[in-house]
Every structure is written in C-alpha cells, then in structure tokens.
Amino acid sequence: MSTTATTRTGRPSRGPLTDLLTGGGRARRVLWLLAGLWLLFSLVRVLSGEQELTSSSTLAAALLLAVPIGLAALGGLWSERAGVVNIGLEGMMVLGTWGAGWAGYQWGWVGAVLGGVVFGAAGGLLHAIATVTFGVDHVVSGVAINILAGGVVRFLSELLFTEDTGGGPTQSPSLASDPPSLSLPLLSSGPDLLGDLEGRGWFLLSDLAGLLRGVTSGVGLLTLFAVLLIPVSYLLLWHTAFGLRLRSCGENPAAADSLGVPVYRLKYLAVIISGALAGLGGVFLVFVAGIYREGQTGGRGFIGLAALIFGNWRPGGLAAGAGLFGFADALQLRSQTAVVALLLLIAVLLAAVAVHQAVRRKPTQAVLAGVFAGAALVGFLTIDRLPEGIVFFTPHLTTLLVLSLASQRLRMPKADGLVYRRGEH
C-alpha cells in the first residue's frame, strides 16, 4: 500500500501542517470561521456590556471544563472510527475517577494518571470482549457498563476507602501530590501586559488579550497533554497506514479483512484506547477537586458523545463541540447575567443562517431561522435575568441547539455499530 499522498493536480501533498501554515483550503476556511466567531463575540461583548463573555477567567474556566468532555469525545472517536459504538464512555470515566482517587492518594499525581488510564482501559476491554468477541449489541453493552461501573466503584470504595485512610464509601482520601502547572514565559512573566490590555475594554484587542491570558497562565500539564492529543489523534488516524487500516474497520470490515487487515485486533485496540482516554478524562476531574467523589463525572461521558456527533466524527469538530459546552458551562458559573448576552449572539447567528437558507432558496428553513432569531433578539432586549434553573441548564440547551442545526450534515462511519463476523458478509 503506497503511503505517498498526491493532490488532485497530481503534485505531492505538502502534508497537513504545511497546508495549515500556507493556507490550505479547509484549514483556511476554519481559520476564517474562528476569526469571524471571535469578532462576533467581541461585538456582542461591547453591545451587551458583559465583560465576562471574553474575560480571561471565563476562558480559563472554559478550558478546564472542556478538557474532560473532549477526552471522552476523543475516546468515542477512536472506538467509533473502528466500527464500535461506545455508549459506555460515562462508565469508563467513572472507573477512571475511582482509579485516579485510589492510586493518587498512595503514589501521587503520577499514580493517579496511571490508575485512571488503567481502570478506564479495563472498561474498554470489557466492552470490546462483549461487542467484538461475543457480538453483543453495542448499545446494550455500553449501557450495561455504565450501570456496572457505578456499582463496582461503590463496592471498591466501601472495601478500600475506610475511615483509617480518611476516605469513605463515597470518596477517596486526598491526593498525595498535585500535578504541576506551567505558564508561557513570554506572556506570563514580568508586568501583566495582557491583564492591563484586557482591563481597558477595547474592541477586539482586549478580547484577544483575555483569550491569550486565559489559555496561557497556570495551565496544568495534563491540560496541555489533553489538548495535544487532538492533533496527534488526527495525524495518526488520517495520515498513517495504521490509521487507514483502523478506519477501514469502521467503514467496510469485510473488505478490510479480505485485504489482510487484522479487523478484530484493531477493534480491540481502538476500544481499549477509547476507554483509556475516557479514564484520563476522569483523572482530570479528580485533579480539579483534589479527591475522588462519587458522581464526579456528572454525565460528561454522555456530553462527550454528543460533542463527537456534533463534530461529525472528526477531531477538530469534537474539539469545537467540547469547547462550546465548556464555554457555556463556564459562563453560567461566572455570571448569570452574561448568559442573557448569549441570546444576542444566538440571534445574530440565526439571522446569518436565515440569510444563507434564503440564498439557497429554502424558504421554510429561512423563515424558521428568522423567527427564532427575532425571538432571541426580543428575549435579549426584554429579559434582565434568567431563572436560575434555566441558567444552570444553559450548556445543555446550547448543545441541543447546535446539534439540531448541524444534524443535517452528519456522516457516521458506515459500519459503526454493526456486529462483524468473518465470512458472514
């Protein structure tokens, strides 16, 4: 199998990194989209007067809240690209949190990372045995793992987290050591130039300063590692022979098997990696709290699955989905009044959707988008403060809205969720 990539004109491809730096078609569109969104956020911040929309504290909190969701989504990407639906991401995160709490109070933060990854991978192995070897329905197996994980961690907590250790049936003792953090020296040392620029409230410039300050100061080592896993996964799955073989298992396993691809082995490997990544997301939650607590995941495994679907089973898309939920969650924690400003942002976005649908001669969709845009604008002008229950549910509403808008262009792997048996297809 030749690994030399060529463009449509027959010339050798320069590679993903070169294309990004020199303005490749898709990369250029993504960069323009990100720039346009940030310009819109800056405009909404100025019009609404809600400084928390782009403040460094909000963006730093958004990064912290997005990482465990992104890791769960990345785990789902590995599994589903190999053709195995992983509904059990939540259960694997639960196992990861317990493993991090148990190993962390004995051997420190390094032990917590290893313990969470191993326990999450064990959940992935169980899912692989059930689905790949025994042909159990993928959804049924995933739901069973979610249910089983809760009972297993409670049993282990009652067995090992006794009063002598300072833990209990629902929590572990505190971690023996905290993970290190770092800051970019050029942006964080010396005078707080970014902080001063952010405080001036200038259009766009202050917002960019808040963004840089929020994502470069006091970043945890695990946070940086988790962010780097996204481009690493992209390069492995889309630009290596190994990734091509693994993705072929999720598209047409029978054809891949006929070409000598070890389908069963790759499915096992992908699902175990999926569990390990979900477990790593659980480790992150334990690091934030400094302790394991029962129910710590809070459904983030399911939200990660939603982020994966929103991202159309692509690394960049799932990162955007995780970032969206993390930002909405951070905003409702930082300022309840700033959540109202999101109505103005939604109104502008829906108005753009209405214009786009009208240009494409789809009057029904254009009218619906326009009506909802008007309703959002009226809500922004008339509502001073949303009820607390709605504010708390804002991240979920945001995720549902974006998923509904993006659902028409989704394409899952063709063999995702299908039970494969050699010689039966």
Measure the CA–CA gap between 14 and 16, rounded to whole angstroms: 7
Q: Which fold has domain 49-176+212-334?
A: ABC transporter involved in vitamin B12 uptake, BtuC (1.10.3470)
- What does residue 262 show for φ and ψ, rounded to 5 degrees? -75, 85
Q: How far is CA 114 from CA 25, 68, 109, 284, in A?
A: 40, 16, 9, 12
CA dihedral 182, 286, 398, 51 (to 10 degrees): -40
Q: Which residue has the tokens 């420190």?
A: 108
Ordered by start, the domain boundaries in the chain are: 49-176+212-334, 337-412
pLDDT, residue 70, reads 95
Helical spans, DSSP H, in 290-393: 300-310, 315-334, 336-359, 363-382, 388-392
Q: What is the DSSP letter of 6?
A: B
CA dihedral 187, 74, 108, 120 (to 10 degrees): 180
The beta-carbon contacts of 399-403 under 8 Å, at least 24 apart in sequence, are 399/303, 399/306, 399/307, 399/310, 399/321, 399/324, 399/325, 399/328, 401/346, 402/310, 402/321, 402/324, 403/306, 403/309, 403/310
pLDDT, residue 21, reads 41
**Residue-by-residue pLDDT tens, the chain, 425 positions:** 444 444 444 444 455 444 444 445 666 777 787 788 888 888 888 888 888 888 888 998 999 999 999 999 999 999 999 999 999 999 999 999 999 999 999 999 999 999 999 999 999 999 999 999 999 999 999 999 999 999 999 999 998 887 666 788 889 998 888 888 766 655 555 556 777 888 888 888 888 888 888 888 778 888 999 999 999 999 999 999 999 999 999 999 999 999 999 999 999 999 999 999 999 999 999 998 899 999 999 889 998 998 898 888 999 889 988 988 888 888 888 777 788 888 888 888 888 878 888 898 888 878 888 888 898 888 888 887 777 777 777 777 766 666 666 555 678 899 999 988 887 65
Structure tokens at 70: 């992104």
3-state SS class at 116: helix
pLDDT, residue 185, reads 54
Please list the helix, strand and coil fractions of the chain in percent, rounded to the nearest 5, in that order. Answer: 75, 0, 25
